Copies of this chain bind each other. A is one copy, B any other.
Amino acid sequence: MELKQPYLLFLGDAADSLAAKVAQGIKTWRPEACMGQIRLENCHADVGLKDVTIQEAAKAGAKTLVIGVANRGGIISKEWVSVLLEALDAGMDLAAGLHNRLNDIPELVESAARNGCKLYDVRFPTQTYPVASGKKRSGKRVLTVGTDCSVGKMYTSLAIEKELKDRGVDADFRATGQTGILISGAGVSADAVVADFISGAIETISPANSDGHWDVIEGQGSLFHASFAGVTTGLIHGAQADALVLCHEPTRTHMRGLPEYALPGLKECMERNIATASLTNPKVQFVGVSINTSGLEEKAALEYMDKVESELGLPVVDPFRQGVARIVDRLLEL
Protein backbone atom coordinates (compact mmCIF):
# COMPACT_ATOMS: atom_id res chain seq x y z
CA MET A 1 0.00 0.00 0.00
CA GLU A 2 1.32 3.40 -0.98
CA LEU A 3 -1.04 6.39 -1.06
CA LYS A 4 -0.66 8.58 -4.13
CA GLN A 5 0.22 12.24 -3.61
CA PRO A 6 -0.56 15.12 -3.68
CA TYR A 7 -3.34 14.92 -1.10
CA LEU A 8 -6.54 16.90 -0.82
CA LEU A 9 -7.38 17.06 2.89
CA PHE A 10 -11.04 16.64 3.79
CA LEU A 11 -11.94 18.45 7.02
CA GLY A 12 -15.67 17.78 6.68
CA ASP A 13 -17.84 19.26 9.40
CA ALA A 14 -15.15 19.15 12.11
CA ALA A 15 -16.62 20.46 15.37
CA ASP A 16 -13.28 21.98 16.41
CA SER A 17 -9.60 21.81 15.52
CA LEU A 18 -9.10 18.69 17.67
CA ALA A 19 -11.57 16.81 15.46
CA ALA A 20 -9.31 17.60 12.49
CA LYS A 21 -6.05 16.61 14.17
CA VAL A 22 -5.29 13.96 11.55
CA ALA A 23 -5.43 16.64 8.83
CA GLN A 24 -3.32 18.92 11.01
CA GLY A 25 -0.73 16.15 11.45
CA ILE A 26 -0.50 15.58 7.70
CA LYS A 27 -0.16 19.34 7.07
CA THR A 28 2.49 19.71 9.81
CA TRP A 29 4.68 16.78 8.78
CA ARG A 30 4.08 16.55 5.03
CA PRO A 31 3.23 20.09 3.88
CA GLU A 32 4.71 19.38 0.45
CA ALA A 33 2.22 16.53 -0.02
CA CYS A 34 -0.87 18.67 0.61
CA MET A 35 -2.37 20.72 -2.24
CA GLY A 36 -5.44 22.05 -0.42
CA GLN A 37 -8.27 21.51 2.02
CA ILE A 38 -11.97 21.02 1.52
CA ARG A 39 -14.45 21.99 4.23
CA LEU A 40 -18.20 21.67 4.59
CA GLU A 41 -20.31 24.67 5.58
CA ASN A 42 -20.33 23.98 9.32
CA CYS A 43 -16.62 23.17 9.63
CA HIS A 44 -14.88 24.74 12.62
CA ALA A 45 -11.36 23.64 11.76
CA ASP A 46 -8.75 25.12 9.42
CA VAL A 47 -5.30 23.65 8.87
CA GLY A 48 -4.17 26.68 6.86
CA LEU A 49 -4.26 25.24 3.37
CA LYS A 50 -6.01 26.81 0.40
CA ASP A 51 -9.74 26.01 0.30
CA VAL A 52 -10.53 24.30 -2.98
CA THR A 53 -13.43 22.55 -4.67
CA ILE A 54 -13.14 18.97 -5.88
CA GLN A 55 -12.94 20.25 -9.46
CA GLU A 56 -10.16 22.70 -8.66
CA ALA A 57 -8.27 20.02 -6.75
CA ALA A 58 -8.59 17.56 -9.62
CA LYS A 59 -7.35 20.14 -12.13
CA ALA A 60 -4.39 20.90 -9.86
CA GLY A 61 -3.50 17.19 -9.85
CA ALA A 62 -4.78 15.96 -6.46
CA LYS A 63 -4.45 12.17 -6.42
CA THR A 64 -5.96 11.17 -3.06
CA LEU A 65 -8.66 12.71 -0.92
CA VAL A 66 -7.64 11.98 2.68
CA ILE A 67 -10.29 12.08 5.38
CA GLY A 68 -8.49 14.11 8.02
CA VAL A 69 -11.39 14.41 10.44
CA ALA A 70 -12.86 12.11 13.09
CA ASN A 71 -16.50 11.44 12.28
CA ARG A 72 -19.07 11.82 15.02
CA GLY A 73 -20.72 8.72 16.43
CA GLY A 74 -19.02 6.46 13.92
CA ILE A 75 -21.39 7.45 11.11
CA ILE A 76 -20.24 8.67 7.72
CA SER A 77 -22.92 11.26 6.95
CA LYS A 78 -24.73 11.85 3.65
CA GLU A 79 -22.95 15.20 3.32
CA TRP A 80 -19.59 13.44 3.48
CA VAL A 81 -20.61 10.75 1.01
CA SER A 82 -21.66 13.28 -1.65
CA VAL A 83 -18.21 14.94 -1.50
CA LEU A 84 -16.48 11.56 -1.55
CA LEU A 85 -18.48 10.48 -4.61
CA GLU A 86 -17.54 13.72 -6.36
CA ALA A 87 -13.86 13.04 -5.62
CA LEU A 88 -14.12 9.51 -7.04
CA ASP A 89 -15.83 10.86 -10.16
CA ALA A 90 -12.91 13.27 -10.51
CA GLY A 91 -10.53 10.30 -10.46
CA MET A 92 -9.16 10.56 -6.93
CA ASP A 93 -8.51 7.68 -4.54
CA LEU A 94 -9.95 7.96 -1.03
CA ALA A 95 -8.04 7.24 2.18
CA ALA A 96 -9.32 7.08 5.76
CA GLY A 97 -8.23 5.79 9.14
CA LEU A 98 -11.74 5.55 10.59
CA HIS A 99 -13.21 2.68 12.58
CA ASN A 100 -15.98 2.33 10.00
CA ARG A 101 -14.74 1.44 6.57
CA LEU A 102 -15.12 3.23 3.27
CA ASN A 103 -15.19 -0.26 1.80
CA ASP A 104 -18.41 -0.98 3.71
CA ILE A 105 -20.31 1.80 1.92
CA PRO A 106 -21.77 0.27 -1.26
CA GLU A 107 -22.09 3.56 -3.19
CA LEU A 108 -18.40 4.29 -2.66
CA VAL A 109 -17.35 0.77 -3.60
CA GLU A 110 -19.44 0.92 -6.76
CA SER A 111 -18.18 4.36 -7.76
CA ALA A 112 -14.54 3.46 -7.06
CA ALA A 113 -14.84 0.39 -9.28
CA ARG A 114 -16.49 2.39 -12.05
CA ASN A 115 -13.87 5.16 -11.89
CA GLY A 116 -10.88 2.84 -11.45
CA CYS A 117 -10.06 4.42 -8.08
CA LYS A 118 -9.02 2.88 -4.78
CA LEU A 119 -10.51 3.07 -1.29
CA TYR A 120 -7.86 2.83 1.45
CA ASP A 121 -9.05 1.98 4.96
CA VAL A 122 -5.60 2.22 6.49
CA ARG A 123 -6.67 0.98 9.92
CA PHE A 124 -7.31 -2.46 8.41
CA PRO A 125 -4.43 -4.37 6.80
CA THR A 126 -5.35 -5.79 3.41
CA GLN A 127 -2.13 -7.64 2.71
CA THR A 128 -0.89 -10.71 4.54
CA TYR A 129 2.44 -10.65 6.32
CA PRO A 130 4.97 -13.43 6.89
CA VAL A 131 5.91 -14.84 10.27
CA ALA A 132 8.96 -12.89 11.46
CA SER A 133 12.31 -14.46 10.62
CA GLY A 134 14.24 -12.59 13.32
CA LYS A 135 17.11 -12.31 10.83
CA LYS A 136 19.37 -9.27 11.19
CA ARG A 137 18.71 -6.65 8.50
CA SER A 138 21.16 -4.07 7.19
CA GLY A 139 20.56 -0.37 7.88
CA LYS A 140 19.92 1.30 11.25
CA ARG A 141 16.72 1.62 13.21
CA VAL A 142 15.43 3.81 16.01
CA LEU A 143 12.14 3.00 17.73
CA THR A 144 10.00 5.07 20.09
CA VAL A 145 8.64 3.24 23.12
CA GLY A 146 6.47 4.54 25.92
CA THR A 147 5.39 4.32 29.51
CA ASP A 148 1.81 4.30 28.20
CA CYS A 149 -0.33 4.66 25.06
CA SER A 150 -0.79 8.12 23.53
CA VAL A 151 2.22 9.79 25.10
CA GLY A 152 3.80 11.20 21.92
CA LYS A 153 5.49 8.30 20.15
CA MET A 154 4.27 9.29 16.67
CA TYR A 155 5.08 12.97 17.14
CA THR A 156 8.55 12.16 18.49
CA SER A 157 9.25 9.75 15.62
CA LEU A 158 8.23 12.29 12.99
CA ALA A 159 10.33 14.97 14.69
CA ILE A 160 13.36 12.65 14.66
CA GLU A 161 12.83 11.85 10.98
CA LYS A 162 12.64 15.57 10.17
CA GLU A 163 15.75 16.41 12.19
CA LEU A 164 17.69 13.60 10.49
CA LYS A 165 16.59 14.74 7.03
CA ASP A 166 17.36 18.38 7.86
CA ARG A 167 20.91 17.24 8.63
CA GLY A 168 21.13 15.39 5.33
CA VAL A 169 20.88 11.93 6.87
CA ASP A 170 18.98 9.36 4.82
CA ALA A 171 15.94 8.50 6.97
CA ASP A 172 12.38 7.21 6.74
CA PHE A 173 9.52 7.36 9.20
CA ARG A 174 7.81 3.94 9.38
CA ALA A 175 4.19 4.21 10.44
CA THR A 176 2.51 1.61 12.65
CA GLY A 177 -0.82 3.37 13.29
CA GLN A 178 -3.52 4.87 11.12
CA THR A 179 -2.58 8.54 11.54
CA GLY A 180 1.07 7.80 10.85
CA ILE A 181 0.07 5.85 7.74
CA LEU A 182 -2.01 8.75 6.41
CA ILE A 183 0.87 11.15 7.09
CA SER A 184 3.56 9.06 5.43
CA GLY A 185 1.38 7.29 2.86
CA ALA A 186 2.53 3.79 3.87
CA GLY A 187 2.95 1.46 6.85
CA VAL A 188 0.89 -1.00 8.83
CA SER A 189 -1.63 -0.64 11.64
CA ALA A 190 0.23 -3.01 13.97
CA ASP A 191 -2.66 -3.56 16.36
CA ALA A 192 -4.95 -4.70 13.53
CA VAL A 193 -2.65 -7.46 12.22
CA VAL A 194 -3.38 -11.10 13.10
CA ALA A 195 -1.40 -11.81 16.29
CA ASP A 196 0.97 -14.35 14.73
CA PHE A 197 2.25 -11.77 12.27
CA ILE A 198 2.90 -8.65 14.39
CA SER A 199 6.69 -8.96 14.25
CA GLY A 200 6.60 -10.09 10.63
CA ALA A 201 4.60 -7.01 9.65
CA ILE A 202 7.19 -4.73 11.25
CA GLU A 203 10.03 -6.60 9.54
CA THR A 204 8.15 -6.05 6.26
CA ILE A 205 7.64 -2.29 6.60
CA SER A 206 11.24 -1.74 7.70
CA PRO A 207 13.20 -3.83 5.21
CA ALA A 208 16.97 -4.12 4.80
CA ASN A 209 18.49 -0.80 3.78
CA SER A 210 21.85 0.87 3.12
CA ASP A 211 24.27 1.01 6.03
CA GLY A 212 23.92 4.73 6.67
CA HIS A 213 20.13 4.77 6.48
CA TRP A 214 17.92 5.23 9.54
CA ASP A 215 14.40 3.90 9.82
CA VAL A 216 12.48 5.82 12.47
CA ILE A 217 9.84 3.33 13.60
CA GLU A 218 6.71 4.57 15.33
CA GLY A 219 6.07 2.58 18.52
CA GLN A 220 2.67 1.54 19.86
CA GLY A 221 1.28 0.96 23.34
CA SER A 222 3.55 0.05 26.22
CA LEU A 223 5.09 -3.09 27.70
CA PHE A 224 3.26 -2.03 30.87
CA HIS A 225 -0.20 -1.74 29.30
CA ALA A 226 -2.30 -4.76 30.35
CA SER A 227 -4.44 -4.58 27.20
CA PHE A 228 -1.84 -3.94 24.49
CA ALA A 229 1.60 -5.14 25.62
CA GLY A 230 1.43 -8.06 23.21
CA VAL A 231 1.35 -5.65 20.28
CA THR A 232 4.21 -3.65 21.80
CA THR A 233 6.32 -6.78 22.32
CA GLY A 234 5.83 -8.01 18.76
CA LEU A 235 6.55 -4.55 17.40
CA ILE A 236 9.79 -4.26 19.41
CA HIS A 237 10.99 -7.68 18.24
CA GLY A 238 10.21 -6.94 14.60
CA ALA A 239 11.90 -3.54 14.76
CA GLN A 240 15.33 -4.91 15.81
CA ALA A 241 16.09 -1.38 16.93
CA ASP A 242 19.63 -0.14 17.44
CA ALA A 243 18.32 2.81 19.44
CA LEU A 244 15.27 3.45 21.59
CA VAL A 245 13.67 6.73 22.66
CA LEU A 246 11.44 6.65 25.73
CA CYS A 247 8.24 8.71 25.53
CA HIS A 248 6.35 9.80 28.62
CA GLU A 249 3.54 12.08 29.76
CA PRO A 250 4.21 13.13 33.35
CA THR A 251 0.70 14.17 34.43
CA ARG A 252 -0.91 10.81 33.64
CA THR A 253 -2.34 9.37 36.88
CA HIS A 254 -2.95 5.84 35.58
CA MET A 255 -2.47 3.74 32.44
CA ARG A 256 -4.79 4.88 29.66
CA GLY A 257 -8.17 3.15 29.98
CA LEU A 258 -7.04 1.13 33.03
CA PRO A 259 -7.82 3.01 36.27
CA GLU A 260 -6.38 0.15 38.38
CA TYR A 261 -2.94 0.33 36.77
CA ALA A 262 -0.24 2.83 37.75
CA LEU A 263 2.40 3.99 35.30
CA PRO A 264 5.82 2.32 35.56
CA GLY A 265 8.86 4.25 36.73
CA LEU A 266 11.03 5.53 33.88
CA LYS A 267 14.03 3.39 34.84
CA GLU A 268 11.91 0.26 35.26
CA CYS A 269 10.30 0.94 31.89
CA MET A 270 13.67 1.42 30.19
CA GLU A 271 15.07 -1.79 31.69
CA ARG A 272 12.08 -3.82 30.51
CA ASN A 273 12.27 -2.35 27.02
CA ILE A 274 15.99 -3.11 26.79
CA ALA A 275 15.41 -6.67 28.02
CA THR A 276 12.71 -7.18 25.39
CA ALA A 277 14.49 -5.48 22.51
CA SER A 278 17.78 -7.28 23.24
CA LEU A 279 16.29 -10.53 21.95
CA THR A 280 16.53 -9.38 18.33
CA ASN A 281 19.27 -6.75 18.75
CA PRO A 282 21.59 -7.32 21.72
CA LYS A 283 23.32 -3.96 21.13
CA VAL A 284 20.16 -1.87 21.57
CA GLN A 285 20.46 1.22 23.80
CA PHE A 286 18.45 4.28 24.77
CA VAL A 287 19.50 7.57 23.17
CA GLY A 288 17.00 9.92 24.79
CA VAL A 289 13.74 10.64 26.52
CA SER A 290 10.85 12.58 24.99
CA ILE A 291 8.46 14.19 27.45
CA ASN A 292 5.05 15.48 26.46
CA THR A 293 4.84 18.44 28.85
CA SER A 294 1.65 19.92 27.40
CA GLY A 295 0.00 19.42 30.79
CA LEU A 296 2.64 21.46 32.64
CA GLU A 297 3.51 25.17 32.85
CA GLU A 298 6.85 25.98 31.20
CA LYS A 299 8.76 26.40 34.47
CA ALA A 300 7.45 23.12 35.90
CA ALA A 301 8.14 21.40 32.58
CA LEU A 302 11.75 22.54 32.48
CA GLU A 303 12.34 21.58 36.11
CA TYR A 304 10.82 18.16 35.52
CA MET A 305 12.98 17.54 32.45
CA ASP A 306 16.13 18.69 34.28
CA LYS A 307 15.40 16.26 37.07
CA VAL A 308 14.84 13.34 34.68
CA GLU A 309 17.97 14.21 32.74
CA SER A 310 20.16 14.18 35.83
CA GLU A 311 18.59 10.89 36.97
CA LEU A 312 18.94 9.06 33.66
CA GLY A 313 22.02 10.62 32.09
CA LEU A 314 20.32 10.91 28.70
CA PRO A 315 19.11 13.89 26.65
CA VAL A 316 15.59 14.74 27.82
CA VAL A 317 13.47 17.02 25.62
CA ASP A 318 9.93 17.98 24.84
CA PRO A 319 9.95 17.77 21.01
CA PHE A 320 7.23 20.40 20.79
CA ARG A 321 8.99 22.93 23.02
CA GLN A 322 12.63 22.25 22.19
CA GLY A 323 12.88 19.91 19.21
CA VAL A 324 14.76 16.63 19.20
CA ALA A 325 18.21 17.89 18.14
CA ARG A 326 19.87 16.69 21.34
CA ILE A 327 18.41 13.20 20.93
CA VAL A 328 19.54 13.06 17.31
CA ASP A 329 23.04 14.19 18.38
CA ARG A 330 23.21 11.15 20.62
CA LEU A 331 21.69 8.91 17.95
CA LEU A 332 24.33 9.86 15.41
CA GLU A 333 27.11 9.07 17.89
CA LEU A 334 26.12 5.37 17.74
B132 contacts A226, CB within 8 Å?
A: yes
**Shortest beta-carbon distance, A206 to chain B, in Å?**
15
Q: Give a binary string over A196-220; 1 marks a CB under 8 Å from any B CB, 0 the rest.
A: 1011100000000000000000000
Q: Which listed residue, B134, B191, B192, B196, touches A231 by the CB 8 Å rule? A: B196
Q: With the chains together, A286 CA to B146 CA distance in Å?
A: 29
B196 contacts A229, CB within 8 Å?
A: no
**Shortest beta-carbon distance, A202 to chain B, in Å?**
10
Q: Which 7 A-B pairs have the closest CB atoms?
A: A230-B234, A134-B226, A191-B196, A233-B233, A132-B227, A198-B230, A230-B233
Q: How many residues of A contact B (CB 8 A)?
A: 38
User: Which of A14-22, A28-36, A56-64, A272-280 contacts the other chain?
Assistant: A272-280
A258 contacts B191, CB within 8 Å?
A: no
B258 contacts A133, CB within 8 Å?
A: yes
Q: With the chains together, A133 CA to B195 CA distance in Å?
A: 18
Say yes or no: is A135 at the interface (Cβ < 8 Å to chain B). yes
Find chain B residues with CB under 8 A from A200 CB: 227
B194 contacts A192, CB within 8 Å?
A: yes
21 residue pairs of the A-B complex, CB under 8 angstroms, read: A131-B257, A132-B226, A134-B258, A134-B260, A190-B195, A192-B194, A192-B196, A194-B195, A195-B234, A196-B228, A199-B227, A199-B229, A200-B227, A226-B237, A226-B279, A229-B276, A230-B230, A230-B232, A232-B233, A233-B233, A261-B279
